[in-house]
Amino acid sequence: MPPRTKLLRHTAPGTNMATEEFEISGWERSKISNQDMNMLKKLGLTKKEEGLLFPGEESFPTPRIGYRVTFVDHLIRGLSTPIHEFLRGLLFVYGLQLHQLTPNSILHISIFITLCECFLGTHPNWGLWKRIFYIRRNNSHNTAYNVGGVVICIRPDVDYFDVKFPDSVQGWRRRWLYIHEEYLDSQDYNIAPFDGGAKILRRRSWDAEATEEEKMATDALMKRIHELQNTRGKELSGVQITAHFLRVQPLQARKNPLWMYAGEKDVDRISKDLSVKDLEKLVRRFLSLSKKDKVPTSCRVEPYIGTNALPKPLMKHFINLGTQFIGYRDTVEDLKETLAKANKRADDLAVKLEQSEKARNKAEQDVASVGDLRKRLHHSAASELLLRRTGVRRKFTGAPSPPRAILRVLKFGEPPQRNLIAGDPDHRGSHSGKPSSFAFSP
């Protein structure tokens, strides 16, 4: 395992979230071997140019725009982009980042989707999922993980396929890389943006169990699972399901469900058939098998595919039953309530903004009125001074009436002119440049 570094009140790069004491971030410089790169190539995951980017010397993921963080051990267990709608729903309902799931948890989801689409003939069903699985924190010796901090487990009282997972996947946390984000035309979003410091918070959905209505609706599916496991000579095992899905990536969104899989010509197929040697090597990497345990190259139960079509009555029943993942009701209601409150706050802010804008406009008008008043007062004072000067002039000269320019000042509020003060009755200065007979100095 990579060195375990405790982060005490440490802020991860690019985040404002400080980790709690005894929490392990799990991030260190990525080290991906040539063997891992060859396996990714054989699985068809490196076909797209810049579909995968391998990190350099950074010890903490810093994906460029349009990329997300993933792991080699997630990819070889069925992950690819755009991600399957069911996986996207699980991450949303449980409030998780993709890096917070362990490789064994990713494999659980891949097997479940393959089981539903290939052997039950239905879309992955949320009610059926809750009957079989639950999630918990991945704690060890009072230490909480962040990377791989959540584990998907089979309920102890459920009769499900015995999938022999290893207790731990050695070194998987240091085999991280970047994967290009892709969308389907019908998707508004895909994987949530990477947040390496996101704290794992337990939600009510972690304890969700199937309702009585969901149990009644999925009884036929549970019965079919029991038959698949126990039909003599045609027993289906978790190893067979694992070996079967390696032709496609179960956790990738596809144009057609797996029961319509068309073999080598399938539009969603990303790789050729693995050799028996590579298939066995990969399955043994996933599962805890002894040397005596054989890796099957085919299933005892023929899966539903294009050449083994789903019977029409069964198809109609199961497709109606196994609707696409649409989310957890309580979570959706909480989100609706939160959205309604946010909309109300936005409306209140809009009203306050409108009121503030009106107040600003009124203040500007008041300022303009004050300025106009000051201007008028200034002109009035100038006119009064001019009249006083004119009165003094009349007192000494006996002028019968004020000049026309003064009348204009009184009527229009125009400021006095220099030649007006000089006393020119025609509002014109003397051609000689000398003061007229009306010149006056106070």
Would you state the pLDDT for residue 186? 55
Cα–Cα distance for residue pair 209/432, rounded to 1 Å: 110
Would you state the pLDDT for residue 340? 66
Would you state the pLDDT for residue 344? 72
To which residue do tokens 């089979």 refer? Answer: 154
DSSP characters over 108-170: HHHHHHHIIIIII-S---HHHHHHHEEEEE-EETTEEESTT-EEEEE-TTS--------S--T
Q: What is the pLDDT of residues 259-275, one digit of tens each?
A: 887 777 777 777 777 78
Residue 391 Ramachandran class (φ > 0 left, ψ -120 to 50 alpha, else beta): alpha
**CB-based contacts of 5-14 (< 8 A; 24+ apart in sequence):** 6/143, 11/197, 12/60, 12/196, 12/197, 13/60, 13/62, 13/196, 14/60, 14/62, 14/196, 14/197
Which run of H or E residues covers position 315? helix 312-321
Cα–Cα distance for residue pair 247/15, rounded to 1 Å: 38
Would you state the pLDDT for residue 100? 95
Q: What is the pLDDT of residues 350-360, one digit of tens each?
A: 788 778 778 87
Would you state the pLDDT for residue 225? 93
The answer to whether the beta carbons of residues 432 and 422 sit under 8 Å apart is: no
Would you state the pLDDT for residue 207? 92
Q: Give whole-number Cα distances, 246 to 137, 373, 389, in Å.
A: 28, 86, 108
Would you state the pLDDT for residue 277? 86
The 10 Å Cβ neighbour count of residue 224 is: 18
**What residues of the chain score a pLDDT lower than 70?**
1-25, 140-142, 184-189, 247, 306-340, 342-343, 391-442
For the chain, give every domain's residue range.
Answer: 23-327, 340-421
Task: Please choose, from the candidates 426, 75, 419, 37, the residue with its C-alpha nearest in 3D space to the C-alpha of residue 246.
Answer: 75
The 10 Å Cβ neighbour count of residue 133 is: 18
Which run of H or E residues covers position 178? strand 176-180
Cα–Cα distance for residue pair 272/118, rounded to 1 Å: 19
